[in-house]
Amino acid sequence: MTDNLKSGNGKGLMIFGLLVLVFLIMGLAAYTISGHMGIEDRFNSAVGISGEGEEEEGSGFLGFNIEGNQLYYLIIFAALAILCAVLYLKFKL
């Protein structure tokens, strides 16, 4: 049984590694062809909409930034966090 599990796991990891390799090659090839651009510009370029160049790069924390309205994001996230805390305390996991 343990041998079965180990061999199944080994095969699984091999398939996973192969998929990772294929996806990375595909991704890097697509990135090289399409060039460096933000997600909205990439979408607009893909469908043929002329970009407005609104995306700012390098802003935020170490390049990470929040999409949409940051205040609304914080409010909704805080509400969800409170809801989760209430659910956790009431029902446990």
Partner 1 sequence: MAHIHLEDGAFSLQWTLVWWIISIVAIGLCLYWLRNVKKVDNRTITIAGLLTAAAFAVFQVNIPLFGGVHLNLTPLIGILGGPAIGGLIVLIVNILSAAIGHGGWGLIGANVLVNLIEVLTAYETFRWLGRMNVGTFARAGIGTLIGLLLGNVVMLAIIIISGVQGVTQSRADLLYGLSLLAGVNMAVAVIEALITGYIVSYIERVRPDMLDGGRK
- Which residues are near partner 1 by CB under 8 A? 4-5, 8-9, 11-13, 15-16, 19-20, 23-24, 26-31, 33-34, 36-49, 55, 57-58, 60, 62-69, 72-73, 76-77, 80-81, 83-84, 87-88, 90-93
- Contact indicator for 39, 47 with CB cutoff of 8 Å: no
The phi and psi torsions of 61 (rounded to 5 degrees) equal: -95, 115
If DSSP codes are grouped into helix, strand and coil, which group holds residue 35?
Answer: coil
CB of 81 to partner 1, least distance (A): 6
To the nearest whole angstrom, how small is the minimum distance from the Cβ of residue 28 to partner 1? 6
**Residues 6 and 14: beta-carbon distance below 8 Å:** no
